[in-house]
Structure 1
Amino acid sequence: MTPPVLDALEAPLPTAHVDLVARAPAVVRAVWPQVLFFGLLVLAWEAMARALRSPLVPDTLAVFRALAGITENAFAFSEIGVTFGRMVLGFLLALLVALPVGIGSALSRTAARFIEPGLVLGLTVPGLVWALLCVIWFGVSLWTPVISVALGVLPSLVIAVQQGVRSLDVETLEMARVFRLKRSAVLRRIWLPLLYSFLVSGCRVGFSIAWKVIVLVEIFGMSNGVGYQLNSQFGTQNVEGVIAWTLAFWVAMLGVEHGVFHPLEKHANRWKRGHADEH
């Protein structure tokens, strides 16, 4: 008779434990490069602070104390939420304009040539210019950050839509005409799935642009938000506070990147993996 201890050792592991063991290496492989980057960044900053011994370069302990100070009572989260809300509204406004403009300019060479100078202008004008103009035009109102963000990200979204439309195979459209699909079906079955993946990529680029624009708007013309808090810390020459607010928003942006854009990109590109698996 086999001892009970040996029977227990030879018994198969529960499914939950097997899944946990199988997933652990993948999780570690996905996380360790980012942990390593953060660790090296902290070590490099601490070494620089100790070498310079300047109040303008605080050590990591002072920075983390300032970070803990702004995160208690969820103050930092509320301010970041205000900034994100303005960015999202600006994105939606830009998207409403980018879809028809991008599709029309991709299908018509005349339209493409017509909007080309505007795209070049939008890509070259600094976000500071949009921030200053919108503060002058709209003052302290919700329209100021929303329109500033929309103007800043609109060129990248238009280009993303253009690339998506131009990547469509002509044979697919011919097939839709042969089967006499309704325009709503063509839009739902062909155009939107195709533009989806390109828009996700365009939004990732546009989100980083929007952050630079919204901070400038909040510095010059708003009474709350991350940009306003950065300006307040700068006014008192509080370097730890400036770095702490920057780190807080950086962490929030990492959350958006991994919690929103990565899943969306994975979902948008699922057809590519399916095509690769077939081969």
Structure 2
Amino acid sequence: MTAAAAASSRLLRTQRGLALAFLLVLAVAWWATAGRVPAYVLPPPSEVGKALLTFVSSAQRLSHLFATLAHIGSAIGISFLLGAMLAFAAHYARWSAPAIHQRLNPFLSAFSGIGWTLLSVIWFGVSSYTVVFTIVVVLLPFALVNLREGLLALDAELHEMGNSFGRSRWRAWRLLVMPALLPFVAATLRIMFGVAWKVALTAELFGGGRGLGYVINIARQDYDTATLFAVILFIIIAVTLADRLLFGPLERYTARQFGSTP
């Protein structure tokens, strides 16, 4: 093992040790503080653990999880498709670029998720349409900006190779452009997945009749803080595992195989 590899290994062990120590300190502080305040303010870890087990073993509660996953999955698909269409339109039809990048994108980026949620409730009522629409409009700028960067990163040599296909523009796009964009696609999906959870919970809290945000809202109304903490803890674990086991490896694989990410 080289000196650089040994140093990297020591750094990795140190980082993992510090992360574990932080979690232990947080757990001890939580346990110590929970004994001094009412349970509805800060429930002890044992009560949250029981609520978490109840949550994952309840078919009714799990149906709310599947509802949130459906909201997030459909919204990511719609926003990515719309973002890709707009990015390609601005790149290949340059006359549309100012309207897309200088008008539409700043407008969508500046308006907050809570603002879109309130508007969606007025437009669609308390429904899944409200949740999905809110997530879509918040995620759309992420897809648009990242795919735009991917298209701008296509070098001149790649364009020359594409011209060698003659009139077969579809073949050039399929064999050259799409593989070069895959690292940006993977990075975009990773970002969108993380952001979508935050937006989905807010949208379901205010304008959803189903989903984990709705469960949090009911728990808040009932002062069931243990369930509220359990749902939050479940989301943190689920999102972290998805990022570590799915989106992170996918992004690294596409970066190795097809090029670097932004």
TM bin, normalised by shorter chain, reads 0.7 to 0.9
Quote the offset at 1:198 in angstroms. 0.8
Q: Secondary structure at the match of 1:271?
A: helix
Give 2:112's aligned residue.
126
> Does the 8 Å CA contact 1:80/1:249 hold for their aligned counterparts?
no
Quote the offset at 1:161 in angstroms. 0.5
Give 2:89's aligned residue.
104
CA deviation digits over 1:70-114, x for unaligned, max 9?
222354433222101111101111111111211222345543321
> Does the 8 Å CA contact 2:87/2:148 hold for their aligned counterparts?
yes
1:231-270 superposed matches below 5 A: 231-270=217-256
TM-score, scaled to structure 2: 0.83
TM-score, scaled to structure 1: 0.79
> Does the 8 Å CA contact 1:160/1:202 hold for their aligned counterparts?
yes
For residues 250 and 77 of structure 1, what CA distance do their matches in structure 2 show? 16
Gaps of 5+ in 2: 1-8
Greater CA deviation, 35-44 or 52-61?
A: 35-44
Are 2:70 and 1:85 equivalent residues in the alignment? yes
Please tell me the root mean square deviation across aligned C-alpha atoms, in Å.
Answer: 2.6
Are 2:144 and 1:186 equivalent residues in the alignment? no
Gaps of 5+ in 1: 1-24, 275-279
For residues 183 and 21 of structure 2, what CA distance do their matches in structure 1 show? 30
Greater CA deviation, 147-156 or 116-125?
A: 116-125
Structure possessing the higher relative contact order (Cα contacts under 8 Å, 6 or more residues apart): 2
Larger Rg: 1
1:57 alignment partner, one of 28, 42, 66: 42
What amino acid sits opposite 2:205 in the alignment? I
Q: How many matched pairs? A: 247
- Counting aligned pairs with the same residue, the percent is 27
What amino acid sits opposite 1:211 in the alignment? W
> Does the 8 Å CA contact 1:76/1:248 hold for their aligned counterparts?
no
Are 2:163 and 1:177 equivalent residues in the alignment? yes
Give 1:224's aligned residue.
210
For residues 265 and 80 of structure 1, what CA distance do their matches in structure 2 show? 26
What amino acid sits opposite 2:121 in the alignment? V
